[in-house]
Amino acid sequence: MTDDAAVPELRASDADRERVAEVLRDALAEGRLDMEEFEERLEATYKARTYGELTPITRDLPVGQVAVPKVDMVKHPEPDGSWAGRVVGGEGSSAWAVAVMSGFQRKGRWTVPRQFNCFAFWGGGEIDLREANFAAGEVEINCVAIMGGMNIIVPPGVEVVVRGIGIMGGFDHSQEGVPGGPGAPRVIVNGFAFWGGVGVERKLTKEERRRLKAERKAAGGREPAEGYGDRPRMLEEQREWRRELREERRDRYEERRERHRERHQDRRDRRRYDEY
């Protein structure tokens, strides 16, 4: 049996660290943390490797601490992946986001409220719904982008409706008209863009891409050592590998850019404070 005392020593995932970072961003917006405390805790969050290192970071915040999963040695059936389990009702875990000469990000396991409001001025944001739950079968994302940009990522099966207005800017309508899957939520993108833009793209998660790649290999059986019959498939797998590599590099770049923007904003705030 697994000793419960050893659970905090389990390795934390990227999604776990992102949940803690989301709590810290909300605490900063509510004034519970100043910029210096926020930067210190955010840096500790991305350096954390175990649940034991993540837990103290949010212990004194209203949301409590990181939920350490109970270790169960019994193998349970995997969820069937139906949308019914992801339309959870209730309130969203985050209702708004702001980026002023900085950036914001909502990704991983979070609950999208019935209405999510976001604002970007000389900044940018990413709203990733691929692993999210939904408070209702229809949710609305209101975006205001002024000399900034936002990108909304939806998983396959989600219906998208875009109603935003752009002046010297625009809203991406490329994903409209794609029918939703049975029980899938409907995402309405609304708002205003001035010298800015709101993009919408449809992507699989990294885990789903890897799973599909493994299924393709399994369906193809043993790969031949030579011959030209499988050359198109091999080229496609090579292109897929390159796409995954670009995605990973972009994710790391976005994470570093966000930390840089936060430090830059902190320095600007300190200079303004010194001037007063």
User: What is residue 138's predicted lDDT score, i.e. its pLDDT?
Assistant: 93
CA dihedral (198, 200, 203, 206) in degrees, to 10, reads 20
Which residues are CB-contacts of 110 (< 8 A; sequence separation ≥ 6)?
Answer: 19, 22, 92, 93, 94, 132, 133
Cα 88 from chain centre? 18
pLDDT of residue 200: 93
Q: What is the pLDDT along the chain (276 residues), one digit of tens a residue?
A: 444 445 567 888 877 887 888 888 878 777 788 888 888 888 888 888 888 888 889 888 876 445 555 554 444 444 445 687 888 888 888 888 999 888 899 988 899 999 999 999 998 899 999 989 999 999 999 999 999 899 999 998 899 999 999 998 899 998 888 888 888 999 999 999 999 899 999 988 777 777 776 766 666 644 444 433 444 555 555 566 666 666 766 777 667 777 767 777 777 777 776 766
Rounded distance between C-alpha atoms, residue 151 and residue 231, angstroms = 35
pLDDT of residue 23: 84
pLDDT at position 144 is 94
Q: What is the pLDDT of residue 201?
A: 92
Amino acid identity of residue 106, one-letter, is R
pTM for the structure as a whole:
0.52
Distance, in Å, from the CA atom of 161 to the CA atom of 144, rounded to the nearest integer, reads 16
